[in-house]
Amino acid sequence: MKKFFVLMLCFCAFAGPRTAHGAEKDGGALRIVTTIFPEYDWVREILGSVDAEVTLLLDRGVDLHSYQPTVDDMVRIAACDLFIYVGGASDTWVLDALKNAVNEHQIAIGLLDVLGSSVREEEDVEGMEREEGHEDGPEADEHVWLSLKNAAAICRRIAGALSELDPRHKAAFEANAARYTAKLSVLDKEYQAVVDGAARRVLLFGDRFPFRYLVDDYGLKYYAAFAGCSAETEASFETVMFLAGKVEELGLPCVLTLEGTRHRLAGTIVANTDTKNQQVLSMDSMQSTALKDIEAGATYLSIMERNLRTLSAALN
């Protein structure tokens, strides 16, 4: 009861969302809260010119796996009309947020719930660093947004929720979703064409590996230092030497890593190959896309297009 009272006090004092798209439905603006960048971008695409307040919680480049909501974040969630979250082990705090909802018409969408049986478990591939604390078995792989096919299914669900909340604009939401999912389908076919014409079908990451859904979509194999949700940052000598040996054995032209500037492990793997001439290339998992990136023009499609160029270089 005390927690709820605190939330209500904060709600009365809350001035508004951190980032907004606009405003208006019957009885006020649609208030939409998203946890990660892909959700935020999909919502904006489906809204089109229809105004609504859209908040991105992880807007400062904080990784999904280390994010902890503030009291203001919990208040935003409690009052919003539509809340979109991932729904994996990193989102256990969501249960408390939904319990404290003060909007009786609220719709909550968990990405993993939308995808149901197509959600994959994290896997332990050969050579990967074992993470302590996972003796109870594998968890669901949360990084579902990195599949264009998954993105299309989620966008259709978002359009349905917006139509339910704002029936006046149902035709616009459905048309916008149809146009956007058509773009996703075109890019999906471009990915398939690159893979079909590639010289090899193996990727090697000197980093965490959140691209399980992407490689499964196109029948690719991978090696990596850590699983996608791993909290480990230091690879053992055995892991480094195994990955360096795979680079040589498979004749790979590059070692891949995630977005950001710390690529020390990938560089160490290259340094332990015989030739030591492999490139280090980055793919963007969109786990730390910040408001400044959005203001600079980043979109889900533009990042996935850039990832395709990197993928093409890695496979050829």
What pLDDT, on the 0 to 100 scale, is given for residue 277? Answer: 95
Which of 46, 55, 301, 37 has the alpha carbon at shortest distance from 159? 46
What pLDDT, on the 0 to 100 scale, is given for residue 7? Answer: 41
Q: Which residues pair with 253 in a beta bridge?
A: none
- Regions in the chain scoring below 50 on pLDDT: 1-24
Domains defined along the chain, listed by start? 2-116+139-187 (3.40.50.1980), 198-283 (3.40.50.1980)
What pLDDT, on the 0 to 100 scale, is given for residue 3? Answer: 42
pTM score, whole prediction: 0.89
C-alpha–C-alpha distance, residues 155 and 181, integer Å: 7
What pLDDT, on the 0 to 100 scale, is given for residue 134? Answer: 53
What pLDDT, on the 0 to 100 scale, is given for residue 244? Answer: 98
Strands 279-283 and 221-227, how do they pair? unpaired
What pLDDT, on the 0 to 100 scale, is given for residue 290? Answer: 87
Quick one: 11 exposed, middle or buried, by C-beta within 10 A (0-12, 13-18, 19+)? middle
What is the layout of strands, in order, in the sheet containing 53-56? 53-56, 31-34, 82-85, 107-110
